[in-house]
Structure 1
Amino acid sequence: MPVCSLHIVSLRTTLSDFLYLLLKSKPEPLVVSRVIRWVIVPESLSVDPLLNQNIPWDLLVILPGAAGLSPELQEHVGNEWTVKVGIPSRLISGFRERNEKLLFPKSEDLPPLSGALNQPRIAGSAQGLELTEELRGWIQRFSQREGQQAVSMLNLLAFKPGMKDEYLKYGDAFAKSIGKRRGGDAKIVGSVIDDGSGRGSGTGSEGKVWDEIALAHYPSIEHFADMLASEDYQEVNNQHRVGSLKDTFILCTSELDLLGIRGRERL
């Protein structure tokens, strides 16, 4: 299984300077996304490096290979949180072409909203991946400001002992029904090999803090909200997902148009 490195970074220089170097480096990145906001924050794992230092995270970068960011790129990074993950070859092969189609779909391929947002299911906390009044308000403002653009939700997952199979039932339902009908696509899924905790050997999961990553695509933030607000999603979420996780976080990101940036550089 090919190894990739995932980086959440805070920049010490401008975004354009960092992207200029990143897009000229080898290997080319699979994903570069603007960090938008936390949807779910970690409650017990990696809390200090991710939250307690009040770092304004700027970018999510996923690179093929285990080498990570080059020394030249590191000069532009103020802070970094990184994990190494094994991602199946079938997901990496042809990823850029598939991803372009997801990010820039034909209008006729966009699934309609279900109507769940007209009378949404509202919760007191988003930590169980439910819609709150605060999250709903932010989504409305973000949608008005940014328009109908795709978002990518970075999920880090740590399973309770013996509960991964239960989570897989959630993943299966997401792929076949509850996520698919809203345009959801778990386009990158991988097993954590090294999460920087100093407890992972790379050969097993007994010492690591985090177990898996998933990068889930949605055609717009409203499609994501439509899913959270719906009864069919929450039934599966509460039955299979919530109780299977020891800890998790979800970071909302907006992917940059790497092909467009490269094209502008050639002008």
Structure 2
Amino acid sequence: MTTEQVVSLRQITGGRLQRFQAFTVASLLALAVWQLATLISDGWVPSLWRIMEALGEDASTASIYTDMWITLRRIFVTFAAATSIGIGLGVAMGLNRRVMAFFRPIVVMGLAVPDVVYIIVAILVLGTEESSGLIAMVLALIPFVVNIVVGGVGARDPGLDEMSAVYRLRRLRYLVDVVGWQVSPSLIVATRTCFAFAWKLIVLVEALSQPRGIGAQIYYSFRLLRPDHMIARALLFIVVLRLVEAIIFAPVEKRFLGWMR
């Protein structure tokens, strides 16, 4: 092993050790703050032990996994629809001034409207059916995706556009090899942002209008004044989402970036 390889290995090991130490310190500090809040709240904030007990109870019931699957299905449907429409519209706006002039005010207005307004209007107009909440969430998420993609398309190198015109590249090849290669970081940011917002908003919709799902179960625990189970169910779902991100999003992102290179 050469000297450069030894130095590189030490740098990598040292960086991982520092990240682990920082994570450990932050976790211990958060646990200490939570325990302090438990002591000064006269029991309203559940202790760590109560949360762990509730976590074990909820993890041993089959219904919690059924609710997780229902919520995950809603998240992926909303995410797929909002991402597809948002990326397509964002690319079109970034490449065409007329499309930009028409949709820009609508996108700005969509960004300004609070997400809960979409939910309330959808419930009032379409009722409390599952489809009404999904439609509301798709409409709420599209402006965020469009805004990110438009910024990425607008920041592309004009010299590459001129080169494409000189070599008379076909439209599809231009979109994939020229535009797609340059906006790939924006596409990744847009998809991650959309997924992060999607699960938060879906949980909110379930709490407001749906009888099943993690959001409905969290709200049910709140109504029964059982904060330990409320936090435990939220933690279980967060763990599942982290697994989804590690198993699906991280490999896809790595392969996508490798392909764009």
TM-score w.r.t. the length of structure 2 is: 0.24
TM-score normalised by L of structure 1: 0.24
Greater percentage in helix: 2
Relative CO higher for 1 or 2, CA cutoff 8 Å, sep ≥ 6?
A: 1
